[in-house]
Amino acid sequence: MKFAVLATVSAHLPLVALACADHPPRYIYPRQAPSSSEGSTLSPSSSAPAPSTSSDSALGSSSVDDATATGNATSVTQISVSLISTNPTAVPLSLITAQQVSSATVPLPSTATPGVTPSAIPNAPSLPDISGLSSANYPAMDKPPPTNSTEVQQWIQEVQNSGFSIPNISVTVESAACSANPDAVADTSRCWWTCSGCTRDTDIVACPDTLHWGLTYDDGPAFYTPNLLQYLDEHQLKTTFFTIGSRILEFPDTLQTEYMGGHQIGVHTWSHPPLTTLTNEEIIAEFGWTKKITKDILGVTPNTFRPPFGDIDDRVRTIALAMGLKPVIWTRLSTTVTFDTGDFNINAGTISSSQVIENFNEIIGNATSIDTGFIVLEHDLFEQTVELATGYILPQALAHQPAFNITPVISCLNMPMANAYIETNDNSTNPPPSGSLTSGGAASTGSGSSSSSAATPTALPSLLPAQALIVSCIVGALLGVSSLML
Ligand SMILES: [Zn+2]
């Protein structure tokens, strides 16, 4: 029923505003296709179904604010931002708006040939021939897959046989909004990242080494992903793409090009729901179908996933680990200091492109002050987000001194690309999850504190002492607790 409600909301409102006491307003809205694509080898289709939600930004309440919901680019103002490098081919910031006329996409930088293997993964199986790929063999796009299919029933059985004990944690309601789930927020034992920032040791939230950026893009493949791939190729950059199963079905060639180009692929669910709102079986279906379509097209299965909206608790974690998936979130220093560019909201007209650049400048400032590397939330779903990435964010990052080491997440963990997939991981340095959440390497405190053990390199990054004190006080005041481990 909740899915029907979401679908109805997204179908009849151009924008749904979400507000929460401990999060800035966030928005969900239908995915939009470019209105024109002259010169494109792709065929943008306005008939493609829209996900009920797509931004990964942290969730707020589900209350609909019609005044805010009518937000458009004329209501956001461009601000003055400091740029240390400019890309001469960048689209002017003033033109990167919700109302901009779509520009052409570029052809994929290369097309993959069936039977080849990626140079970055010597032991990879041959790339499948996807000429016979049929949507009839997969669930409907952008809808939660049914759980009574033969495939999902098998995956449920495999989870039951995995040795993991799934915690008896209730589902959240109203799109996992913090304000709508006070009991869940108060139950710190569930380690619900969305509303507390709680992490477990199995969560990857940063890179171990300072100045190392685990580059990620979510929600693709999409119409403008080839433009991003072109820029990445030109600058010898590799990234991690957290891809949606429904988008993979729509753009299978793009996924193969990403993979063959040396980029890392991670799971981002089939229909992009807030996972804590789903039943165990529904979560298994979301993961299972995305794993399956990725393997059908690449021949390998990712062993990482990013929860949509970062919405993860111990129940979601355990199910994911039981299916061989380790969570990758984005770096978060406090409830108000997150490494989220906010780029997704440009398309909705609720944030200006220059504000996103300002957000990124602040992220860079924080990134150079912490004792670990970092992971930033960005998207390749929209033209605006790709134009900001290629025209501003990446040029800024490449010109930064001291230099950032920009790599896929698996590389920032100092592992070979082969370790990113179940079939090619030799398990020597990246053993697959096993046992229970506690015995499988996650924090054993179970206390639901706002951070995990600091003993692991991927634990929540720490600020330098003076900054940590300030942030700790702020966060403590916000959460009403006397002390926090940062
Ligand atoms: Zn997403």
pLDDT tens for each residue of 333-384: 998 899 999 999 999 999 999 999 999 999 999 999 999 999 999 999 999 9
Task: Give residue 227's pLDDT.
Answer: 97
Distance 327 CA to ligand 1 centre (A): 13
Task: Give residue 85's pLDDT.
Answer: 85
- Looking at residues 430-451, what average pLDDT do you find? 51
Which segment of 35-44, 73-82, 156-165 scores lowest on mean pLDDT?
Answer: 35-44
Judge whether 23 counts as a catalytic residue.
Answer: no
- Residue 25's pLDDT band, with cuts at 50, 70 and 90, is very low
Task: Give residue 435's pLDDT.
Answer: 72
- Looking at residues 192-205, what average pLDDT do you find? 95
Letter for the amino acid at 448?
Answer: G
Which segment of 66-75, 272-281, 389-398, 423-432 scores lowest on mean pLDDT?
Answer: 66-75
All domains of the chain in start order, with CATH:
2-460 (3.20.20.370)
Closest CA relative to residue 382, chosen from 158, 100, 141: 100
Catalytic-labelled residue, pool 23, 142, 379, 380: 379
Task: Give residue 104's pLDDT.
Answer: 87
Distance 318 CA to ligand 1 centre (A): 20
Contact 227, 257 (CB under 8 A): no
The helix (run of H) or strand (run of E) holding residue 410 is helix 409-412
Which segment of 62-66, 354-358, 441-445 scores lowest on mean pLDDT?
Answer: 62-66
Q: Which residues contact 425 (CB under 8 A, 6 or more apart)?
A: 303, 418, 419, 432
Residue 150 structure tokens: 């033969």
Task: Give residue 74's pLDDT.
Answer: 52
Task: Give residue 82's pLDDT.
Answer: 87
Task: Give residue 57's pLDDT.
Answer: 58
Report pLDDT digits (tens) over 126-175. 999 999 999 999 999 999 999 999 999 999 999 999 999 999 999 999 99
Distance 274 CA to ligand 1 centre (A): 10
Task: Give residue 434's pLDDT.
Answer: 83
Q: Which residues contact 199 (CB under 8 A, 6 or more apart)?
A: 191, 193, 205, 329, 443, 451, 452, 459, 460
Distance 308 CA to ligand 1 centre (A): 5
- Residue 467's pLDDT band, with cuts at 50, 70 and 90, is very low
Strand-strand pairing, 16-20 and 23-28: antiparallel
Which segment of 216-230, 278-292, 424-438 scores lowest on mean pLDDT?
Answer: 424-438
* Residue that has been written with the tokens 């290369």 in this structure: 110
Judge whether 218 counts as a catalytic residue.
Answer: yes
Kindly list the distances between the CA atom of residue 160 and the CA atoms of 165, 306, 322, 326, in Å, as whole numbers in the listed order. 8, 22, 9, 18
* Residue that has been written with the tokens 């990626």 in this structure: 118
- Looking at residues 88-93, what average pLDDT do you find? 93
- Residue 35's pLDDT band, with cuts at 50, 70 and 90, is very low
- Looking at residues 55-80, what average pLDDT do you find? 49
Per-residue pLDDT at 470 exceeds 90 = no
- Residue 62's pLDDT band, with cuts at 50, 70 and 90, is very low
Distance 475 CA to ligand 1 centre (A): 26
Per-residue pLDDT at 330 exceeds 50 = yes
Which segment of 88-92, 399-403, 447-451 scores lowest on mean pLDDT?
Answer: 447-451
> Taking all residues of the chain, what is their mean pLDDT, rounded to a whole number?
80
Per-residue pLDDT at 13 exceeds 90 = no
Distance 217 CA to ligand 1 centre (A): 9
Closest CA relative to residue 60, chosen from 186, 177, 192: 177
For residue 25, which phi and psi values (nearest 5 degrees)? -55, 140
- Looking at residues 412-422, what average pLDDT do you find? 98
Cα(400)–Cα(382) distance, rounded to whole angstroms?
25
Catalytic-labelled residue, pool 22, 201, 218, 340: 218
